[in-house]
């Protein structure tokens, strides 16, 4: 299994909120942290400021951005324009629903945008999102951005149409946009802003990550993983920790527990069977690992995740 595909399968978008923003100069809006966010300038120009990034980013018509980690950010027509909070701006919306159309500002030149935020599966989001870059900027004039532009145009059409089933279509298009944006980022930057993406691209550590994801139930040891990567045990352990930020077995355990959390949502599957499928011979060892990683025993997790009757 390709590790990138495996993680993206885990990070399926849900609870997508989206809308169209028509802002006339002067204007500025601040967005709180908490949810992954995306946006595209349909027409006009604005400045994007992102928490943790020193300089504002200029966004022209057709430019897209993605903030996978849910950091706070702001948009405005000029770098020094005053900001309103999202709650204040939403009060100006001209239509109800998840696909709201918001118009506000001082009456000058207009910038039109599509923007939104979304949540991931809570069981995966905390640990998996940390693997991804904090900010991705896709310029409209980049020759490799055509697929993203097509997806955004489809997204814009669904938002404008707001027809039956639009919410489902929008959710799927956001999934596609998210994957395309990460893939674009990797092709442009080699994963340089994300340690995990650097690890995936590394010839030796990337090979090990692939076999770990493909054979999650295998009783891996650091020695065997090092052999798969063609490295000595010490060199492999050091390089893996430098690139990924945790030891090989810590990473493997965390990913196993995520997989187990998904399986626990099936009430027909026995806990021992789930333990075996992610590499544990006994439910006792599995229970201890699950509680250490997720903070709750598997049985309690299953009961909490069960849909109400």
Taking the C-alpha atoms of residue 286 and residue 272, their distance in angstroms, rounded to an integer, is 8
pLDDT 10s digits, 80-118: 999 999 888 877 654 444 456 788 899 999 999 988 887
pLDDT 10s digits, 209-226: 999 999 999 999 999 999
Q: What is the pLDDT of residue 122?
A: 60
Q: What is the pLDDT of residue 56?
A: 95
Token pair in block for residue 280: 């544990």
Q: What is the pLDDT of residue 9?
A: 66
pLDDT 10s digits, 60-81: 998 989 998 888 999 999 999 9
Residue 40: pLDDT above 60?
yes
- When mean pLDDT is compared across 163-167, 218-222, 258-262, the lowest value belongs to 163-167
CB proximity list for 228: less than 8 A, separation 6 or greater = 207, 208, 211
Q: Between 253 and 100, where is the model more confident?
A: 253
Average pLDDT over residues 253-260: 90
202-305 maps to which CATH number?
A: 1.10.10.60
CA distances in angstroms from 205 to 43, 73, 96, 185, 195, listed in the order given: 43, 34, 49, 20, 12
Confidence of residue 191 (pLDDT cuts 50, 70, 90): very low
* Average pLDDT over all residues of the chain: 84
Q: Between 13 and 193, where is the model more confident?
A: 13
DSSP per-residue string spanning the chain: --HHHHHHHH--EEEEEEEEEEEESS-EEEE-SSSEEEEEEEESEEEEEETT-SS-EEEETT-EEEETT---EEEESSTT---EEHHHHHTTBSS-STEEEEEEESSSSEEEEEEEEEEE-HHHHHHHHTTS-S-EEE-TT-GGGHHHHHHHHHHHHHHHH--TTHHHHHHHHHHHHHHHHHHHHHHHHTTTT-HHHHHHHSHHHHHHHHHHHHTTTS---HHHHHHHTTS-HHHHHHHHHHHHSS-HHHHHHHHHHHHHHHHTT-TTS-HHHHHHHTT-SSHHHHHHHHHHHHSS-HHHHHHHHSPP-
| CATH architecture for segment(s) 3-192 | Sandwich (2.60)
- Sequence spans of domains, the chain: 3-192, 202-305
- Global pTM reads 0.69
Average pLDDT over residues 170-174: 80
% of the chain at pLDDT higher than 70: 84
Q: What is the pLDDT of residue 300?
A: 92
């Amino acid at each position: 299994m390709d590790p990138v595909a495996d993680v993206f399968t885990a990070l399926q978008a849900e609870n997508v909120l989206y809308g169209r923003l028509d802002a006339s100069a002067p204007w500025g809006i601040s967005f709180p942290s908490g949810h992954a966010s995306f946006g595209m300038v349909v027409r006009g120009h604005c400045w994007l400021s992102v928490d943790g990034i020193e300089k504002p980013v200029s966004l022209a018509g057709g430019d897209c951005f993605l903030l996978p980690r849910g950091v706070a950010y702001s948009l405005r027509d000029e770098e020094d324009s005053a900001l309103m909070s999202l709650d204040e701006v939403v009060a100006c919306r001209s239509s109800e629903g998840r696909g709201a159309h918001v118009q506000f500002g001082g009456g000058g030149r207009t910038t039109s945008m599509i923007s939104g935020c979304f949540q991931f599966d809570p069981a995966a989001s905390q640990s998996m999102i940390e693997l991804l870059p904090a900010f991705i900027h896709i310029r409209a004039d980049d020759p490799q951005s055509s697929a993203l532009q097509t997806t955004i145009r489809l997204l814009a059409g669904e938002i404008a149409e707001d027809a039956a089933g639009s919410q489902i279509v929008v959710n799927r298009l956001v999934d596609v946009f998210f994957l395309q944006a990460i893939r674009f980022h990797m092709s442009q930057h080699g994963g340089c802003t994300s340690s995990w993406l650097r690890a995936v691209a590394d010839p030796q550590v990337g090979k090990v990550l692939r076999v770990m994801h493909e054979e999650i139930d295998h009783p891996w040891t650091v020695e065997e993983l090092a052999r798969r990567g063609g490295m000595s045990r010490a060199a492999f352990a050091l390089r893996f920790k430098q690139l990924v930020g945790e030891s090989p077995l810590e990473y493997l355990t965390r990913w196993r527990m995520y997989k187990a959390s998904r399986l626990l949502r099936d009430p027909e599957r026995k806990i021992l069977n789930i333990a075996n499928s992610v590499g544990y011979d006994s439910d006792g060892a599995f229970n201890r690992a699950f509680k250490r990683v997720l903070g709750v025993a598997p049985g309690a997790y299953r009961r909490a995740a069960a849909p109400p009757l």
